Amino acid sequence: MNNLKQLRSVTPGLHVSVGTVTLALAIVFGLAVVASQAAQAQTFNVLHTFTGGSDGGNPSAGVTIKAGVLYGTTYEGGAGYGAVYQMKHVGSGWTLNPLHNFAGSDGAIPTAPVVFGPDGALYGTTEFGGANSKGNVFKLRPSPTACKTALCPWSETVIYSFEGGTDGSQPIGIVFGQAGNIYGTTSSGGTNANGTAYELTSSGGGWTESVQHSFGSYYPDGLVPYRSLMTFDNAGNLYGTTFLGGASNAGSVFQLTPSGSGWIETVIYNFQGNGDGRFPYSGLIIDQSGNLYGTTTDAGIHGGGTVFELSPSGGGWTYSVLYSLTGSLGESCGPAWALVMDADGNLYDMTQCDGANGLGNVFKLTNTGGSWTYTSLHDFSGSDGSFPLSGVTFDPSGNLYGTTYYGGANNYGVVWEITP
C-alpha cells in the first residue's frame, strides 16, 4: 500500500484502478553476488502503446509467443473488464487484434498470461468476474470460418467458475500437466480463506475441479499463493510459493506430491524475512538438475528482495541467495512474475520500480562458474513504459518481449521488444 502511494506521488496523472494495490505488491528478484549496474547495449522498441480502449490497457501479464505471434492480456480496457489480444508482425511494424473483451459475467480482470493447451486452444484465468464474481478459467478459440475483417474476435468458453468457498477464489495463471489436466492456485477461498492449489480434470465434455491443498488458517503453513504459477519436476511433483505464512510469516516455498489419496503438501523453505528475503510474490522455475529459482519482494541485504535458488540435497533442500536487489522506493520494487532462464543458464526478469529512473528495468543475471553478474538491459523512463508487472519471454531468435503496466503515450502501458 505504501509503495502504491509513492508511485502516485512520483508520477503525476498516474492511472490507478481497483485491484492495483494487490498488483503493486510485486515480487523482488534479488541475489547476493557480483553486481554490474551498467546498462548493456541492446535495441529496445515499443511495439504497442495501449489506449485503455478497445485495445485494452494496463497489462499486468507478459506475452505468450507461438509461430512469431504474441498473445497477452490486459487488466483494463476492452469493454471495461480487461481483454485478450494478439499481435502480429506486419511489414516493419506490429498490428494488435483484440481477441476477446470481458464483460464481467464471463470473467473480469485477467492478470496472468494466456497459455496454449494440448488441443491448440488458448487458456487463461480472470481474477474476478464469472458466474459467482470469484474468477474463472476460460478457453478461447478462433472462428471455424476464415476471418475476412480487420478485427477477428475469438469465441470464449468458461470452463470453470470459482464459487469462493472451499474451491477457492481469485485464480491467477495455470499450467498443464502431461495428461492434459489444468493446475493452478487461488489467492483466496479454500477451507481457511487463505487460498488453494487446485486441479481441473476434463471429464465428459466438461471440467471437474478438485482441491489439492487448502492453505492454512495460520503459519507455519503457507498463506496466500498470489501469482504463484506452479511448476512440475520430472517426478510429477508441483512447486510454488506463498506470499505470507511459513514459520516467520514471511512466506514459504511448498511442494505438492501426488499420492494414492490425493496430494501431500510440504513446506520446503520458510523465509525468515532477513537476508534471505521475504514475501515471495511469484512462482518458481526449475532447471534440468531439479534446482528451483525464485524471487522475493522485500528484505535481503539491500532491502529490495532477493533472487534465490533451492537445491535438492540429502533428502532436503539447500537455500542460496544469488543476488540482492535494491528497490528505488525502498520496498517491493522487484519482479512481479517468475524468472526466465536461457540455454546458458542465465536468468532474466524485470523489476517494478528499480533501475536508473526508479520506474523499473529489464535485467539479466549472468552465470559464470557459479558466480552471478547483474546487468541492466533497459531502464524504463516513462514514455517507453513504467512499472512493469509482467515477466519476460524469449522468441526462438533470442529476442525478449514483455509489457509495462503504466507508461507510454497514454499511461496505459506498452508491449516492448529487446533485440540483441
Other beta carbons within 10 Å of 129 = 24
Between 25 and 76, the higher pLDDT residue: 76
Q: What is the mean pLDDT of residues 83-105?
A: 95
Per domain, the residue ranges of the chain are: 2-419
Distance (Å, whole) CA 264 – CA 268: 12
Q: What is the mean pLDDT of residues 249-269?
A: 95
Q: What is the mean pLDDT of residues 181-201?
A: 98
Distance (Å, whole) CA 122 – CA 293: 27
Residue 11 has pLDDT above 60, yes or no: no
Model confidence at 329, pLDDT cuts 50, 70, 90, reads: low
Distance (Å, whole) CA 305 – CA 296: 5
The values of phi and psi at residue 276, to 5°, are: -80, -10
Percent of the chain exceeding pLDDT 70 equals: 88
**Looking at the domain covering 2-419, what would its CATH class be?**
mainly beta
Q: Which three cell numbers, joined as nine digits, stand for 243?
A: 506470499
What pLDDT was estimated at residue 14? 30
Residue 48 has pLDDT above 70, yes or no: yes
Amino acid 294 reads G
Distance (Å, whole) CA 160 – CA 203: 12
What pLDDT was estimated at residue 31? 30
- Strands of the sheet containing 196-203, edge to edge, are 169-176, 182-188, 196-203, 206-214
Distance (Å, whole) CA 327 – CA 333: 5
On average, the pLDDT of the chain sits at 88
Model confidence at 328, pLDDT cuts 50, 70, 90, reads: low
Query: CB-hemisphere CA count at 13 Å for 2?
Result: 5
First to last CA, the chain: 36
Residue 29 has pLDDT above 60, yes or no: no
Residue 3 has pLDDT above 70, yes or no: no
Q: Tell me, rounded to whole angstroms, the distance of Cα 66 from its chain centroid.
A: 18
Amino acid 412 reads Y
What pLDDT was estimated at residue 149? 65
What pLDDT was estimated at residue 81? 97
What pLDDT was estimated at residue 351? 87
With beta carbons less than 8 A apart as the criterion, state whether 172 and 195 touch.
Answer: no
Q: What is the mean pLDDT of residues 27-48?
A: 55
Q: Which three cell numbers, joined as nine digits, stand for 237?
A: 511433483
Residue 8 has pLDDT above 50, yes or no: no
Q: What is the mean pLDDT of residues 355-381?
A: 93
What pLDDT was estimated at residue 333? 82
Residue 1 has pLDDT above 70, yes or no: no
Residues near 310 by beta carbon (within 8 Å), at least 6 away in sequence: 253, 268, 269, 291, 292, 293, 294, 317, 318, 319, 320
With beta carbons less than 8 A apart as the criterion, state whether 3 and 329 touch.
Answer: yes
Distance (Å, whole) CA 328 – CA 355: 7
What pLDDT was estimated at residue 330? 56
Flag the least confident range among 49-58, 122-131, 173-182, 294-303.
294-303
* Closest alpha carbon to 365 in 40, 111, 20, 102: 40
Residue 326 per-residue DSSP state: -
Residue 36 has pLDDT above 80, yes or no: no
Q: What is the mean pLDDT of residues 324-351?
A: 85
Model confidence at 239, pLDDT cuts 50, 70, 90, reads: very high
Q: What is the pLDDT of residues 383-418, one digit of tens each?
A: 999 999 999 999 999 999 999 999 999 999 999 999
Q: Which three cell numbers, joined as nine digits, stand for 65?
A: 509467443
Question: pTM for the whole thing?
Answer: 0.89
What pLDDT was estimated at residue 99? 96
Q: What is the mean pLDDT of residues 96-111?
A: 97
Q: Which three cell numbers, joined as nine digits, stand for 285?
A: 522455475
Q: What is the pLDDT of residues 338-359, one digit of tens each?
A: 999 999 999 999 988 888 998 9
* Closest alpha carbon to 34 in 356, 375, 335: 375
40: buried, middle or exposed (CB in 10 Å: 19+, 13-18, 0-12)? middle
Model confidence at 300, pLDDT cuts 50, 70, 90, reads: confident
Q: Which three cell numbers, joined as nine digits, stand for 220?
A: 507455519
Percent of the chain exceeding pLDDT 90 equals: 75
The values of phi and psi at residue 22, to 5°, are: -65, -45
What pLDDT was estimated at residue 303? 80
DSSP code per residue over 179-247: TS-EEEEEEE-STTSS-EEEEEEEETTEEEEEEEEEPPSSTTSEE--TT---EE-TTS-EEEEESEETT
Q: What is the mean pLDDT of residues 61-78?
A: 97
- Beta strands 371-379 and 34-35 are parallel
With beta carbons less than 8 A apart as the criterion, state whether 322 and 333 touch.
Answer: no
Model confidence at 363, pLDDT cuts 50, 70, 90, reads: very high
With beta carbons less than 8 A apart as the criterion, state whether 377 and 42 touch.
Answer: yes
